[in-house]
Amino acid sequence: MGRCTLRGAITALVTPFTSDGRLDEPALRALVAWQVEQGIDGVVPVGSTGEAATLSLAERERVVAIAAEVVAGRVPVIAGAGSNDTAAALENSRVLAGAGATHLLHVSPMYSKPPQRGLVAHFRAVADAATIPVVLYNVPGRTASNMEVETQLALAEHPNIVATKEASGNIEQIGEIIRRRPAGFAVLSGDDGLTADVMARGGDGVISVASNAVPAAMHALTAAAARGDLAAARALHDTLAPLFNAAFVESNPIPIKAALTLMGRIGNVLRLPLVPLDARHEDAVRRALASAGVVLA
């Protein structure tokens, strides 16, 4: 299958719901179309930002199919397919590849907390079976275990593992992966606020929460960093920093869904156990959007 380097600003899409909790397909289509029009470099449907944990596999398949249809080959569609059950991860991969995904995002197994050799065995099984390229996702804050440097580098040698989304928050760990990775293996920040720093060290971009609301600005930030204009990238970072912070005043995607509601793009509906943003944080989200130059509905 070969290497296929991912780069730039890639949006970890929210999943819009109707007031009665069903998939809001028109809102999803409109959101994906707007993202592409604004210059985004890829989309990630049904990841953690997309509330995949509360979507059935049939719903995830539908969301990915809609995203792929709207994107129409213009940018990658990296479907969240992870599970702490390797057999389920293989089935997720099969279904979501069939729905039109171009890549699969596989999070390190949560709750089970396998040792590093278990992580290697899990991801190799996933990559061996997958018919499209696989992206690793290291997010210790959600999985309760860190995918260590040596583990990620060992997996990077697999011909069907093409990138990592690194959300450990450990810039030294990320930098070491960048320095030692094989050719064609992309390193993507999993934290908006670290994007400029990761790219300054040679990283390739970000899988972004904030770009749900500011896709053009996040594309501009990564494009500036990619061409070596770190001053411009940092200036954009400073403008967007209040939004990066506001997007995590409560668990993701609660704040970014509130932001998109203020913009008139989706309804502010989440599935339990997630709930809408606490009213005391609404002003912070509103101010952050204003500082980013977003016009509210």
27 in Cβ contact with 227 (< 8 Å): no
Cα-based angle 261, 264, 267 (whole degrees, multiple of 5)? 45
Alpha-carbon torsion (90, 93, 98, 103), positive or negative: negative
Residue 1's CB is within 10 A of a number of other CB atoms, namely 12
Helix (H) or strand (E) holding 224: helix 215-226
Cβ burial 69-92 (10 Å sphere, 16+ → b, else e): ebbeeebbbbbbbbbbebeebbeb
> Is residue 165 annotated as part of the catalytic site, yes or no?
yes
Sequence-ordered list of residues with C-beta below 8 angstroms from that of 178, at least 6 positions apart, any chain: 187, 198, 201, 202, 203
Q: Is residue 136 helix, strand or coil?
A: strand
Lookup result for tokens 């990138």? 163
Strand partners, 138: 166
Q: Is residue 30 helix, strand or coil?
A: helix
From the candidates 111, 113, 137, 257, give the one annotated as an active-site residue.
137
From the candidates 111, 113, 165, 257, give the one annotated as an active-site residue.
165
Lookup result for tokens 């309804």? 267
Cis peptide bond upstream of 140, omega within 30: no
**What's the CA gap between 12 and 238, in Å, rounded?**
21
Give catalytic residues, as residue numbers.
137, 165
